[in-house]
Structure formats: C-alpha cells, structure tokens
C-alpha cells in the first residue's frame, strides 16, 4: 500500500511498546526527529539512507535502535550532540543494531560515534569509522557495555592528541566479542578501565599501515580476560607493548589478567613486548597462547602452561589474512604439544570467523592460540 507508506509513525506492539519507522519521506525523516518523540521501550527502525549532521541525545530507557534494509549511515559532517558524539545515549538498557557511525570530531578531541552514559548499553553489527573514538563511556561504576559483531577502525584525532578505537572508562562490566578492530592511529586499538573486562574471539590488528600504541590496554587494572583473540602488533606501532595492564594507577581492589588461547603477533622491527605487567601486584595466568615473532615475553613467575613461541615463518604475511599454522613450515610436531587443561570460564568455546562472525561448535584444536582464522 504505497499510498499509505508515511501515514503512520507508530504501530502498537503492546500497551507500552511501539515501533517508530524513520526514513526519507516519512513523518519521522531522521533519527534526531525520532529522539524527540520516542518513549521508554520503543523500537526505532531506521531505514537505509545517509543521515548527515543528524545527531541526537537519547534519554529514554529500554530502546532498541536498529537499521533496516541495509546499514544506514550516520555521518557527522562537523556536527555533534552536546559537543560529544553523533549519539549520546543517556537511557538505561539500550540496544543499538546495524548502523554506521562516521566522522565525529569535536573541540575536545574526543568525539565519539556513541557516548555511553546510561547503565547498560549493547551494540551489535555496527561500524565505527573515522571518529575520534568509536564508543566512549562515562565513568559510571554501575554501567555495563557489550559490543558484538562490530567493526571499529581508524578512529583517531587529527591534532595528535591520543584517542582510541574504543575507550571504556571506569565502569563495572565491559564485554567485546566477535569484533574486528583495526588500523588504530596513535592511540590504542582497545583501551578499557572497567572493573571486569572480557575481550574474546576478536581480530585486533594494525595490518601494514596502522600505528596503534597498545593493541589492548587495561591501564587501571581490574579483572580481565583475553580469550581466543588474534592480536597483531604492526611494525609502525608507537609502543613496544602488545598487551598492557596497570600502566596507570590501579583503581580496582582486584587486579588480574587471564590470557587463554590467544594468538599474539609482534612485527616491531626492534622487538616488542608481548605482555606488560606494569605493577608488581598484578596477577597473570597465561594458558595455551601462541606468541609469534621476536617480541619479548617478560618473566612470569607462575600460572603459565601450554604456551608456544614461534617465528614469523610459522604463518603467512599479515596481508594474506590467514593465521593458520602450517605444519610443513615449522619445526614442531603440533599433535605432540602439551596444552594446559581448561575448565569452566577458561575453556575455549568459539573462534572468530572473518568478517565479523564466529563458530562456536566442533572445536578440535591441538595447538595453542585462537586459530585457525576462518572466513564466512
């Protein structure tokens, strides 16, 4: 019924839930217009189009903000909401799905695709590109952030001040899985100050031209899990450490890093450092990881088992995007490796599938690391 396409902006689902359709030619032509009329619990369906300088503050809770018919593009073009981001999300329990956020630059050099200020935010299947940071959280001790199946790349400041592909503040819980984070510039690919961080089954990479500082950093300590990631530290990186914890003052009472079945690749010509424990009271448990390249593995007193170090010849060049170990190219019988037994939370359950996917069944690895990288 084409004649009625824009006749109604709200379709009742339940007494307190509506669907608002947003798109060119509709009564709600843009997300910013929807943000002014939305109520708690609404689903905002955003049709595939380019929305330029269309920035918004979302104070409502229980929202689901979803792109339909493709991936709608939210292009900052010099605009920002409250001088912070393309979207400032203040409500609790908000879900953002299938949108592209691009080009947010602000006076303070911390323009974000999303500024997360509510209690709980979930972001799935989104792309964040060429902002000063993809997602920036407030320092809210009860907040939670989950990111899944997202691509975050080339988010940085042109003034030279550090910003990061993602910057998580002093919140309670942070989870990132099945994401592709790449080509950081000056800042870090992943920086989290959360009390409890879970970073698992991601591809985090500089490639040939990226020059991120740390690949993953936990500057304020906390309890952190790195599981099943492929992490490549490029030859132009501006910091020798691939993974770092505790580089600044420890904010949390418990400070522990667990690394399980990760693949870390160091390509720095002057030899990087795979893992930096920056404070003496930080505990580390490293099980069944694969360390590729000449980087240093700083002395670890206990809690390590099943890790393997290999040279670059064990894998193809980064440009091949193929991280599988090739038995014919290395001098070790992979089936004879003794891996540490893993139970409970430490067990490897999935692998990253490129691009932005995962396989979580039928795993039968007889070597350390998060490989093989698969393609969808």
Q: Any idea what DSSP says for residue 69?
A: S
pTM of full prediction above 0.75: yes
> Would 334 be classed as within a structural domain?
no
3-state secondary structure of 209: coil
Q: Tokens 């418990």 sit at which residue?
A: 254
Which helix (H) or strand (E) segment is 36 a member of?
helix 31-37
What confidence tens digit (pLDDT) does each residue in 272-283 have?
899 998 888 899
What confidence tens digit (pLDDT) does each residue in 216-234 have?
999 999 999 999 999 999 8
> Would 78 be classed as within a structural domain?
yes
pLDDT at 345 over 80: no
Percent of all residues in the chain with a pLDDT value above 70, rounded to a whole number: 86
> Would 191 be classed as within a structural domain?
no
Strand-pair partners of 68: 47
Work out the pLDDT band at 3, boundaries 50, 70, 90.
Answer: very low
> Would 349 be classed as within a structural domain?
no
In angstroms, what CA-CA distances link 17 with 13, 61, 94, 186, 242? 6, 12, 14, 44, 46
> Would 235 be classed as within a structural domain?
no
Give the whole-angstrom CA distance, residue 87 versus residue 112. 8
pLDDT at 177 over 50: yes
Strand-pair partners of 128: 101, 152
Domain range holding 24? 8-171
- CB–CB of 188/213 below 8 Å? yes
- CB–CB of 17/41 below 8 Å? yes
Give the whole-angstrom CA distance, residue 342 versus residue 339. 9
- CB–CB of 289/264 below 8 Å? yes
> Would 150 be classed as within a structural domain?
yes
> Would 197 be classed as within a structural domain?
no
- CB–CB of 155/85 below 8 Å? no
CATH at 122: 2.160.20.10
> Would 85 be classed as within a structural domain?
yes
pLDDT at 131 over 90: yes
Domain count for the chain, please give it.
Answer: 1
Q: Which residues contact 1 (CB under 8 A, 6 or more apart)?
A: none
Q: Is 274 exposed, middle or buried (0-12, 13-18, 19+ CB in 10 A)?
A: buried
């Amino acid at each position: 019924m084409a004649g009625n396409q824009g006749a109604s902006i709200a379709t009742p689902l339940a007494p307190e839930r509506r669907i608002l359709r947003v798109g060119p030619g509709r009564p709600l032509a843009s997300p910013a217009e929807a943000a002014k009329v939305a109520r708690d619990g609404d689903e905002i369906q955003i049709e595939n189009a380019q929305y330029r300088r269309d920035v918004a503050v979302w104070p409502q809770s229980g929202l689901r903000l979803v792109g339909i018919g493709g991936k709608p593009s939210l292009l900052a073009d010099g605009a920002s909401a409250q001088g912070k981001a393309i979207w400032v999300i203040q409500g609790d329990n908000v879900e953002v799905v299938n949108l592209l956020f691009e080009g947010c630059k602000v006076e303070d050099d911390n323009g974000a695709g999303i500024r997360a200020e509510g209690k709980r935010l979930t972001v799935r299947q989104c792309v964040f590109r060429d902002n000063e940071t993809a997602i920036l959280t407030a320092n809210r001790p009860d907040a939670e952030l989950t990111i899944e199946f997202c691509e975050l790349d080339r988010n940085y400041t042109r003034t030279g001040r550090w910003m990061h592909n993602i910057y998580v503040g002093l919140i309670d819980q942070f989870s990132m899985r099945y994401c592709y984070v790449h080509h950081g510039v000056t800042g870090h690919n992943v920086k989290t100050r959360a009390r409890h961080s879970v970073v698992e089954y991601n591809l985090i990479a500089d490639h040939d031209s990226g020059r991120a500082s740390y690949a993953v950093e936990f500057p304020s300590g906390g309890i952190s899990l790195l599981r099943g990631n492929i992490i490549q530290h490029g030859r132009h990186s501006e910091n020798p450490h691939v993974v770092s914890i505790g580089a600044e003052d420890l904010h949390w009472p418990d400070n522990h890093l667990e690394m399980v079945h990760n693949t870390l690749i160091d390509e720095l010509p002057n030899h990087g450092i795979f893992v930096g424990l920056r404070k003496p009271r930080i505990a580390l448990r490293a099980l069944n990881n694969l360390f590729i390249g000449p980087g240093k593995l700083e002395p670890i007193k206990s809690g390590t088992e099943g890790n393997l170090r290999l040279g670059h010849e064990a894998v193809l060049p980064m440009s091949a995007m193929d991280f599988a170990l090739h038995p014919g190219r290395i001098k070790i019988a992979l089936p004879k490796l003794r891996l540490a037994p893993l139970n409970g939370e430490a067990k490897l359950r999935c692998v990253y599938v490129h691009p932005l996917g995962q396989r979580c069944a039928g795993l039968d690895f007889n070597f350390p690391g998060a490989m093989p990288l698969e393609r969808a």
